[in-house]
Amino acid sequence: MAQLTAATVTGEKTLRTMTVWSDQKKLEANIDEIIAAAGSAVGMTVTGGMTGPLAVELN
């Protein structure tokens, strides 16, 4: 399960999302399913994706 999922509006019809996972294995086990679900949502198109380590966390 993801630790945090956030979305921000970047345009009239666009969003940018970020999901933080508790460990690399959970990310690898779930990322393909999440991308497929986003691409199958009505009116949504996946335009790209990136993965990498969390650099900074501020609370």
Percent of the chain clearing pLDDT 70 (strictly above):
98
Number of domains in the chain: 1
d(CA 17, CA 36): 15
Look at residue 15 and give its three-state secondary structure. Answer: strand
- Domain assignment present for residue 15? The answer is yes
Tens-digit pLDDT profile for residues 29-56? 888 887 788 778 777 777 777 788 888 8
Higher pLDDT, 1 or 39: 39
pTM of the model: 0.60
Look at residue 50 and give its three-state secondary structure. Answer: coil
User: Is the pLDDT confidence value at 1 over 70?
Assistant: no
Give the domain extent around 15: 2-40
Residue 27 pLDDT = 84
- Domain assignment present for residue 48? The answer is no
Percent of the chain clearing pLDDT 90 (strictly above):
3
